[in-house]
Amino acid sequence: MAIEKIGVIGAGQMGNGIAHVFALAGYDVLLNDISRDALDKAVSLIDRNMERQVSRDKITADEKNAAMARITTTLNLTDLGQSDLVIEAATERETVKQAIFEDLLPHLKPETILTSNTSSISITRLASRTDRPEKFMGFHFMNPVPVMQLVELIRGIATDQATYTALHDVVEKLGKTAASAEDFPAFIVNRILMPMINEAVYTLYEGVGSVKSIDESLKLGANHPMGPLELADFIGLDTCLAIMNVLHDGLADTKYRPCPLLTKYVEAGWLGRKTGRGFYDYRGETPVPTR
């Protein structure tokens, strides 16, 4: 099946980036969210991000205008029914994702491929709640989507080869690189990355180092572009905690126990950049460590 029309569910950090790269690659994109304000902000952000690409000679003004013209928005989930490929990029909660697929299923074409951008939840389990587990896959983009080269492709136990091949071809058309991961908690990137971030939080919690010293140590001592606590703020501490809980519950190993300090920050609503405070306070001109 030729994949031309893309439905993206969720206009947040990941959804708007996914819409951006698909539109630039020549696909027609229908972006859905439950909030008109979220959709308007997403389109405005995509426009600004593409304008930045124009200013850096990554794309031409004509390419930007053509891509923006390929993006439409809707508050009505059922409008995505005619898509060839649906990418769910809603909040990282399994019950939310299941409810979205349940509402969408009656309106889909029989050949539509369903995917989730989940960073940790079982693809096999999500697929089992749909009418097409053989046409369901994990399609995990990295943040920020327009910049990051990797896409994790995760097959559920029932995913057929045609679906995998179709999505692999899509990744190539986007100009990105596919990495195949087995359907185990957090897949490859977050299986390795999140315990590192969690360990950095433990290092802070136990007083081994301050926020500044921990981040500087990894940037200058391990050549990481961002320190682990800075990166956690960028990802969102609620997302980090959710993934650690998936790892802890799914693998039943105490080495994945979320640090109590991470839980405390999330309970406080200090989720990182998106709320103005996390391990750093972003409300002034420059970020200031909160511990």
Q: What is the CATH classification number for the domain harbouring 174? A: 3.40.50.720
Q: Model's pTM, two decimal places?
A: 0.90
Please list the helix, strand and coil fractions of the chain in percent, rounded to the nearest 5, in that order: 50, 15, 35
Q: Give the range of the structural domain holding residue 28, as residue numbers without chain letter.
A: 5-182
Shared domain for 69 and 119, answered yes or no, is yes
Shared domain for 156 and 194, answered yes or no, is no
Q: Residue 258: which CATH number? A: 1.10.1040.10
pLDDT of 120 strictly over 90: no
Shared domain for 152 and 201, answered yes or no, is no
The beta strand positions in the chain, using DSSP E, are 5-9, 28-32, 71-74, 85-88, 113-116, 136-141, 150-155, 177-181, 280-281, 288-289
Contact, 276 vs 268, CB < 8 A?
Answer: no
Q: Which two tokens stand for residue 153?
A: 């492709």
The response to whether 82 counts as a known ligand-binding position is no
Shared domain for 124 and 9, answered yes or no, is yes
The response to whether 4 counts as a known ligand-binding position is no
Q: What are the residue numbers of the active site? A: 119, 140, 152, 190
- 24: which residues sit within 8 A by CB, 6+ positions away? 50, 59, 63, 67, 146
Shared domain for 128 and 86, answered yes or no, is yes
Number of independent structural domains in the chain = 2
Question: How many CB atoms sit inside 10 A of residue 284's CB?
Answer: 8
pLDDT of 1 strictly over 90: no
Q: pLDDT by residue (tens digit) across 188-198?
A: 999 999 999 99
The response to whether 284 counts as a known ligand-binding position is no
pLDDT of 234 strictly over 90: yes
